[in-house]
Structure 1
Amino acid sequence: MEINKSVCVVGLGYIGLPTAALLANRGFKVHGVDVDKHAVNTINEGKIHIVEPELDTFVNSAVNSGMLTANLEPTAADIFLVAVPTPFHHDQLNQVTNSPVPNLDYVISATRAIAPHIKPGNLVLLESTSPVGTTQMMADELEKAGVDLSSIHVAHSPERVLPGHIMRELIENDRVVGGINESSTLAAAEFYRSFVQGEVLETNAKTAEMAKLTENAFRDVNIAFANELSMLSDEMEIDVYELIKLANHHPRVNILQPGCGVGGHCISVDPWFIVNSGNGKAKMVEQARRTNDYKSDWVIEKVKNAALQFENKQGRPPKVACMGLAFKPDIDDLRESPALRITTALNKILDVVAVEPNVEKVNGLKLVDEDTAKTADILVYLVAHKQFKTHVAHDLTIDFAGLFK
């Protein structure tokens, strides 16, 4: 593929901005689009509005070279890449499974926004993790807007990167690419092979969509097993970390580590897309999701009980410090974070302060530094941030992050 092509990236968040910056540094002329004016202005200054290692260098270089600009509106391009959120309708539940219903409003809005700028020969890509059928829905929306589908290519390629390693994994990881027809698949594969070092695997759009959901559901199920073990072990007065370490000595066993739940916009969200489409048939996937969500409720109850015991013994309510709010260690991403949910719930009933080294403020919570937090009566470790690994546990330390094992 010619590198001197132009790309319009819609959505400049945790996936869109790194992708836009990478492409701009690889010779593509990139026009980034976001509805957040602050994000647009920040990027045009050569700065970043999210935390991700190496991203600042990529963005600064791309903007200073003139290869990356950000705007509130899309423009004409050779390639359109949509990387917008795919959350849930929080006021809707699937009547069969009583599970969340995917909200594709952002995808629809982005599709309608780029439709007037699309011309024959263009490639339209959806990178947002989506329910099966979303890529075809995009194509249908474009057709409704007057776009001749026979003259363009439409495909899906879900991102498969780990926060904290995005810039490297965008290049190194294998990619799954699936179009609404064979020519779309081939066009999309050619584009990704121009900058991806990993293998580009060709399939159809529905299978590509399901592949990403399957990957995250697999991980969710395995984490649910570890989290269920942790709750059972607590009841049986067994050290779950020792238990897992011993069990993992079996040559064909590799149990993951438990935590306070599962967060992020992938593992905690994507399995529900399968459950919603399965209409009652995705039983294991659904139970894993409910187990991991319940783990956060279980953690809240454990802290409440510890606080009650303290008050009964000391004659006063304790000050509680919740250590970590991000959904995983060493990032600033609070999306679907169980640690944030736990801390917010505890803050409503207890005297709570919070420590999150990667975030400056969180609405509704009092953030303090580590030294201040250590003066609290009860320390609740929810995320294994690197800053916490030098801490020393005391009698009223509750460790849900496995830091002191």
Structure 2
Amino acid sequence: MSKQFSKVSVIGLGYIGLPTAAIFAREGIEVIGVDINQVTVDTINKGEIHIVEPGLKEVVRHTVAENKLRATTQPEAADAFVIAVPTPFTDNRDGDLTYIKAAAKAIAPVLQAGNLIVLESTSPVGTTEKMEQWLAAARPDLKFPKSHGDDADIFVAYCPERVLPGKVMDELVQNDRIVGGLSKASSDLAGDLYAIFLKGNCLKTNARTAEMAKLTENSFRDVNIAFANELSLVCDELGINVWELIRLANRHPRVNILQPGPGVGGHCIAVDPWFIVSSAPDTAKLIRTAREVNDSKPLWVIRRVLETLSRVAKEKQKPVSELTVTCLGLSFKPNIDDLRESPAVAIAKEIAAQHTGKTFVVEPHIKAEQNPIKDSDLVEIDVGLKNGDVAVLLVDHDEFKAISRGEIDHLAWIDTRGLMDY
């Protein structure tokens, strides 16, 4: 156990905060998890979890039973505070720092000299400095890095998460971490904190570079996905099978085109590039265009579904209102329950809103009461395929990969993932 950090508080117990809290607790650290949702707090204190992440349930159950992890709605004194709250964007696509500001104000009363505060939330460049300003305003009796550097009472750093949903418990430990402090002492202290469980390298820099590194990683991926998505649109116009084309092009030794899809989802890739664009709107032209390409792809899918409904109605000599559309998948990536910023959700909602007939949704990773699509029925795969007239594959879950061609012969099949490569 770290003598320097015997008690750690994690603010925000979502997809990143709860696994982080559990891993610290697994190492013998006393962890106080803080969340504004009382149901979340009660669930964790019973040794249960409110999200789906392989390996997390067992760790939470064990650490709660060992009195190493407990949850509360009110911050308490600790040696270090890790802030992992949401950072959505506003209607103007600027970063919404409301949750970070609220977290800073919540922990301010319990801060003590020597404390470390680490922001993990993906944020626009300069957010860590803003957080320090909010903390300093709330606690003028304490010295902060901006005015006192390494001689500050409170140490402040930024350390973005770099994990893949479904593999969080492994990647939190194995992946390299970037730590950027508002002072050298802050970087060093944050490095010591993550050394409690980190097996990957801890790469130290300043806070602004660390913030930009996270945004850069996801923007790089977004630009590459946009190329694949735009290529799929071009191929559709030219009557070319995009999946075959990409396979052939990727045989070039220096070409590695990604696979197109219905858009880009999740709380990172679909959001982070806008933070760069909002910081440098006249300069980040390629990043902006890539985001616009990926944001427009769901509209193309919706148009394709509606056009297909009209065609099928003519072929079957039925009104469109008597046809059923089956949407396969809602999550933003395969084999998880995370629906945040999911293009599949946006597509299914619009189909259900515009289609006058039945809309079935097949999402094996959620329960009926979690279905966010109004005027739709959440059904099993066999029901959706058997009773559908048009099926649109939106997520390539493992369950969908087992679908045979015979099961969809009677359907008009719209494949945004290349699962059935005709």
Contact residue 322 and residue 343 of structure 1 kept, 8 A: yes
Q: TM-score, normalization: structure 1?
A: 0.96
Note the C-alpha offset of 1:89: 1.8
Note the C-alpha offset of 1:239: 0.8
Other structure's SS at 1:254 match: coil
Give the root-mean-square deviation of aligned CA atoms: 1.0
Q: Does 1:344 align with 2:349?
A: yes
- Worse-matched range after superposition: 278-287 or 206-215: 278-287
**Aligned residue number for residue 394 of structure 2:** 382
Note the C-alpha offset of 1:3: 6.9
Other structure's SS at 1:357 match: coil
Please give the alpha-carbon distance, in whole angstroms, between the structure 2 residues aligned to 1:292 and 1:217.
12
Other structure's SS at 1:101 match: coil
Please give the alpha-carbon distance, in whole angstroms, between the structure 2 residues aligned to 1:154 and 1:47.
32
Note the C-alpha offset of 1:344: 0.2
**Aligned residue number for residue 166 of structure 2:** 164
The residue type paired with residue 322 of structure 1 is C
Please give the alpha-carbon distance, in whole angstroms, between the structure 2 residues aligned to 1:61 and 1:4.
21
Q: Does 1:10 align with 2:15?
A: no
Among 133, 137, 140, the residue aligned to 2:130: 137
Contact residue 133 and residue 206 of structure 1 kept, 8 A: yes
The residue type paired with residue 46 of structure 1 is G
Other structure's SS at 1:102 match: coil
Note the C-alpha offset of 1:279: 2.2
Size of the alignment, in residue pairs? 397
**Aligned residue number for residue 96 of structure 1:** none
The residue type paired with residue 129 of structure 1 is T
**Aligned residue number for residue 271 of structure 2:** 269
Moved over 6 A (4+): none
Contact residue 3 and residue 28 of structure 1 kept, 8 A: no
Please give the alpha-carbon distance, in whole angstroms, between the structure 2 residues aligned to 1:123 and 1:4.
9
**Aligned residue number for residue 43 of structure 1:** 44
The residue type paired with residue 398 of structure 2 is K
Contact residue 3 and residue 26 of structure 1 kept, 8 A: no
Identify unmatched segments of 5+ residues in structure 2: 145-151
Among 307, 310, 324, the residue aligned to 1:308: 310
Deviations 1:258-315 (A, max 9, x none): 0000000000000000000012210000000000011111111010100111122222
Contact residue 12 and residue 32 of structure 1 kept, 8 A: yes
Other structure's SS at 2:378 match: coil
**Aligned residue number for residue 97 of structure 1:** none
Other structure's SS at 1:288 match: helix
**Aligned residue number for residue 391 of structure 1:** 403
Note the C-alpha offset of 1:402: 1.7
The residue type paired with residue 224 of structure 1 is A
Deviations 1:195-253 (A, max 9, x none): 11011000000000000000000000000000001111111111111100110111111
The residue type paired with residue 396 of structure 1 is A
Please give the alpha-carbon distance, in whole angstroms, between the structure 1 residues aligned to 2:66 and 2:4.
15
Note the C-alpha offset of 1:4: 5.7
Identify unmatched segments of 5+ residues in structure 1: 94-99
Please give the alpha-carbon distance, in whole angstroms, between the structure 1 residues aligned to 2:84 and 2:329.
28
**Aligned residue number for residue 362 of structure 2:** 355
Note the C-alpha offset of 1:148: 2.3
The residue type paired with residue 333 of structure 1 is D
Please give the alpha-carbon distance, in whole angstroms, between the structure 2 residues aligned to 1:4 and 1:334.
35
Please give the alpha-carbon distance, in whole angstroms, between the structure 2 residues aligned to 1:389 and 1:134.
42
Please give the alpha-carbon distance, in whole angstroms, between the structure 1 residues aligned to 2:240 and 2:59.
47
Other structure's SS at 2:227 match: helix
Structure 1 segment 4-403 matched on structure 2, within 5 A:
5-90=6-91, 93=92, 100-146=93-139, 147-149=142-144, 150-314=152-316, 315-317=318-320, 318-350=323-355, 351-360=358-367, 361-363=370-372, 364=374, 365-374=376-385, 375-392=387-404, 393-394=408-409, 395-403=411-419
Other structure's SS at 2:327 match: strand
The residue type paired with residue 380 of structure 1 is V
- Worse-matched range after superposition: 4-13 or 118-127: 4-13
Please give the alpha-carbon distance, in whole angstroms, between the structure 2 residues aligned to 1:353 and 1:31.
42
Please give the alpha-carbon distance, in whole angstroms, between the structure 2 residues aligned to 1:404 and 1:196.
41
Contact residue 101 and residue 276 of structure 1 kept, 8 A: yes
**Aligned residue number for residue 147 of structure 2:** none
Deviations 1:59-82 (A, max 9, x none): 111111100000111100000000
The residue type paired with residue 143 of structure 2 is D
Please give the alpha-carbon distance, in whole angstroms, between the structure 2 residues aligned to 1:157 and 1:31.
19
Please give the alpha-carbon distance, in whole angstroms, between the structure 1 residues aligned to 2:45 and 2:249.
52
The residue type paired with residue 319 of structure 2 is R
Contact residue 155 and residue 205 of structure 1 kept, 8 A: yes
Note the C-alpha offset of 1:401: 1.6
The residue type paired with residue 384 of structure 1 is D
Please give the alpha-carbon distance, in whole angstroms, between the structure 2 residues aligned to 1:60 and 1:167.
14
Contact residue 361 and residue 377 of structure 2 kept, 8 A: yes
The residue type paired with residue 78 of structure 1 is D
Other structure's SS at 1:280 match: coil
Note the C-alpha offset of 1:136: 0.6
